[in-house]
Amino acid sequence: MGGEWWRKKWVAWAAAAAIFVVLMLVTPAIPQDEDYHDFADQRVLFLGIPNTLNVISNIPFLFVGLAGLILCHYKNYFRLCSQGELWSWTLFYAGVTAVGVGSSYYHLYPNDATLVWDRLPMTIAFTSIVAIFIIERVDDRAGTKSLAPLVIAGALSILYWSFFDDLRPYAIIQFVPCIVIPVMAIVIPPMYTHSSYWLWAAGFYLLAKVEEAADKPIYRWTHDIVSGHTLKHLCAAMVPVFLTLMLAKRTIEPDRVSLLQMWKISWRERGSKDSNTVDVKYDYAAVSTTSEQQ
């Protein structure tokens, strides 16, 4: 049994590595678009801070990240069950805290060199979340051992981009979790309750990416009040907020049932209630008709 598990694990890692190599071979390089640094809102609103709203909208990351770090280690407030969980969540909140600093620094002086300090902490947070999901949904030991390789892979993707001006590895590190994590949250039975908070977090992250892409249109639509990129920071900060609420509320799930199974049960119950309602109405109509005839 143990040998079979190890074989499946190495097959999974080998398949992931093979997919990465194939993607790197068949897809063209993705250079950093210099227009990316040309944000819609470049106003100096107070204290002489350039790009003021894009800078200060990163403050929520700092507060949520620091709060999460404290609660991870304060009397085990989050009731984490293993060292792997503790270190994974610690790295996640460290990444979130660093996003608050690194992204603010980048928006003070937007260029490729400062963008490194914006993206590096984000990869730490992304990769830590993947390890957390493996710990909670697949296997504690495998997830714990995957934490360091995943974080290192994320950091290497940033170094690769900074040296070779190619965003492909970073794009994989950023967007694969956006697909894999919601799917795992729905399909694989959770260890803890309040699993739906993962979907709320994923939803806010998706909204943040839409706002980022619509930076200038949103700025025009709001009559130069707020840009899409500023809103992107605020929505992205809701991701660690929802995950922190989840950690504070959740308990061990006694009956490990996936969200998909729960939805199926809910749909069946709703369908049976609807059919019972129809039967009652039909019987009532039949009784009423009979009474009138008499």
Which DSSP string do the residues of 191-239 spell out, in sequence order? SBS-THHHHHHHHHHHHHHHHHHTHHHHHHHTTSS--HHHHHHHHHHHH
Give me the count of residues in the chain.
Answer: 294
SS3 state at 13: helix
Distance CA 229, CA 53 (A): 9
Tell me the sheet residues that pair with 222. Answer: none
From the list 244, 197, 256, the residue with the least C-alpha distance to 68 is 244
Ligand-binding annotation for 107, yes or no, is yes
Query: Tokens at residue 75, please?
Result: 């009397």
Q: By the 8 A CB rule, do 246 and 198 touch?
A: yes
- Please report where in the chains the tokens 């894999």 appear, as a residue: 180
Q: By the 8 A CB rule, do 132 and 181 touch?
A: no
Query: Tokens at residue 66, please?
Result: 């620091």
Distance CA 100, CA 237 (A): 9
CA quadruple 239, 244, 250, 256: dihedral sign: positive
Tell me the sheet residues that pair with 252. Answer: 192
From the list 88, 87, 93, the residue with the least C-alpha distance to 61 is 93
Query: Tokens at residue 219, please?
Result: 């700025």
Annotated binding site for Zn(2+): which residue ranges? 107
Q: Which residues are annotated as a binding site?
A: 107
